[in-house]
Amino acid sequence: MRCLWLLALVLLPLFSVAADTTDAWQALREGRALILMRHATAPGTGDPANFRLGHCETQRNLNAQGRAEARRWGELLARQGIEQPRLLSSRWCRALDTASHMQRGPVQPFAALDSFFGQPTDGAEQTAELIRSINQLPAGAPLVLVSHQVNITALTGIFPASGEGLILALPLRPRAEPLARIPAP
C-alpha cells in the first residue's frame, strides 16, 4: 500500500502538467490565449555586423535542425486542432522561416516582434507596443507569434530555449505568466 502512495505522489505532478497543457491548448483554440514562440534553432547569438533586414544572407538563419523543428511545430499545431492560425512573425529571416516552415498558412511580418538584442534600451517601449498591438487585434483564428529570446524574456521573465513556445492568456499583460510551456517538438 505504501508503494502505491509513493507512486501516486511521483505521478501526480505529471497528471497536473498534462491537464494544464490540455487547458492551455483549449484556450488557444478558443482565442482566449496565444502562443508566443522563440524561433527554431539558428546557431549563434545576436546578428552579424553586416545584418540587413530583408537580406537573409546577412543574418543568422535556421539550420537543418531548426527547419525540422518548425515543421514539427506545424504538425503539433495540427494535432492540437489549430489548422489555420493567424501567424505573426518578427521580420528577421529565422523567425519568418520558422513560421513559414510550419505550413499552417500565410505569415504576416509584425515589427513589434522584431529582436531588440542589439538595442536593449528599446525593449520596454517595444514590449509595451507588442502588448497594445496584440490586445487590439480582433477576435478570430488562434494566434501564433514567432519572435526572439530577448523579446519573450522582456514580456514574461522566462528565457526560452530555441523553438520553445509559451501559451499566454489574452488579453496580453506585462510579465505574462504562461498557461503552459511547450518545448520544441
Q: pLDDT for 85-106, tens place per residue?
A: 999 999 999 999 999 999 999 9
Position 121 confidence tier, pLDDT thresholds 50, 70, 90: confident
In 3D space, the residue among 148, 139, 141 whose CA is nearest the CA of residue 105 turns out to be 141
**SS3 of residue 3 by DSSP:** helix
In contact, 137 and 155? CB cutoff 8 Å: no
- The string of pLDDT tens digits covering residues 27-78 is 999 999 999 999 999 999 988 889 999 999 999 999 999 999 999 999 999 9
Q: In what order do the strands lie in the sheet with 165-169?
A: 107-109, 86-89, 143-147, 33-38, 165-169, 178-182
**SS3 of residue 45 by DSSP:** coil
Q: At 75, list the grid cell.
A: 504538425
**CA distance readout (Å), 152 to 103, 107, 149:** 23, 19, 5
Torsions phi, psi for 61 (to 5 deg)? -130, 165
Q: What's the pLDDT score for residue 17?
A: 39
For residue 160, the one-letter residue type is P
Q: What's the pLDDT score for residue 8?
A: 40
Q: What's the pLDDT score for residue 4?
A: 42
Average pLDDT (161-183) is: 97
Average pLDDT (133-149) is: 95
Structurally, at CATH architecture level, domain 28-43+59-182 sits in 3-Layer(aba) Sandwich (3.40)
Q: At 125, list the grid cell.
A: 517601449
CB atoms within 10 A of CB 162: 19
Q: What's the pLDDT score for residue 1?
A: 53
In contact, 156 and 177? CB cutoff 8 Å: yes
Q: What's the pLDDT score for residue 139?
A: 87
Domain ranges of the chain: 28-43+59-182
Dist CA 24 CA 119 (whole Å): 33
